């Protein structure tokens, strides 16, 4: 009788292990970034906002709301001067941040860093990295560490030609998302 009880319990344990909302596949890794994608443009705009208000390369903390909940706060450094090329090193703090209402992000300790090189503003190119750890809740849960490269084109925004954004369909995001279940490849175009 013990033998028969063991098999159903083992099958139940395997079934529960497969029901996790943690990052446990390349699809989950892609989703972990996609739900955060809009924050890249927001952080870039906050970097320019801090640049315009600063008297040195160091920018004071700048904040924006998530589309659904929470806040994104950035601080860091932005090149001074009027060159059409800018380098930004932006430290991110996310508090209950969500743009899609499906995944909510928080950061703690040493937050993620977004390093960007913008060339030929307003319609040039963007290259950079996003490296850091996030705690997720909602459709994806648990801790994930992103180590991503960002390469694409820039364009003026429709709402304000004095502001820039990533040109849709040109930004390639590649790298890894690491969770307690392993390291997964991220490779997508936005």
User: pLDDT tens track of the chain, all 190 residues?
Assistant: 444 444 444 443 434 444 457 899 999 999 999 999 999 999 999 999 998 887 788 999 999 999 999 999 999 999 887 889 999 999 999 999 999 999 999 999 889 999 999 999 999 999 999 999 999 999 999 999 999 999 999 999 999 888 899 999 999 999 999 999 999 999 999 9
Q: Does residue 6 sit within a domain? A: no
Residue 147 falls inside a structural domain:
yes
Is 15 among the domain residues? no
Domains identified in the chain, total number: 1
Does any domain span residue 11? Answer: no
Residue 7 inside a domain? The answer is: no
- 0.85 surpassed by pTM: yes
Residue 185 belongs to a domain: yes
Would residue 131 count as lying in a domain? Answer: yes
Domain that holds residue 67: 22-189
Q: Would residue 158 count as lying in a domain? A: yes
Exposure string over 26-57, b if 16+ CB within 10 A, otherwise e: eebbbbbbbbbbbbbbbbbbbbbbbbeeeeee
Cis bond upstream, residue 70 (ω within 30): no
């Amino acid at each position: 009788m013990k033998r028969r009880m063991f098999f159903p319990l083992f099958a139940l344990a395997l079934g529960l292990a497969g029901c996790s909302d943690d990052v446990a596949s390349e699809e989950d890794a892609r989703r972990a970034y996609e739900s955060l994608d809009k924050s890249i443009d927001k952080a870039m705009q906050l970097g320019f906002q801090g640049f315009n208000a600063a008297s040195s390369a160091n920018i004071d903390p700048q904040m924006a709301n998530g589309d659904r909940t929470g806040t994104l706060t950035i601080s860091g450094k932005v090149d001074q001067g009027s060159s059409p090329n800018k380098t930004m090193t932006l430290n991110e703090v996310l508090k209950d941040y969500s743009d899609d209402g499906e995944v909510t992000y928080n950061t703690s300790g040493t937050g993620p860093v977004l390093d960007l090189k913008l060339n030929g503003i307003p319609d040039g190119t963007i290259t950079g990295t996003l490296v850091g750890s996030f705690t997720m809740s909602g459709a994806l849960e648990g801790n994930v560490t992103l180590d991503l490269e960002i390469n694409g084109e820039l364009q003026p925004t429709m709402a304000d030609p004095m502001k820039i954004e990533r040109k849709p369909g040109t930004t390639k995001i590649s790298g890894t998302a690491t969770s307690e279940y392993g390291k997964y490849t991220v490779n997508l175009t936005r």
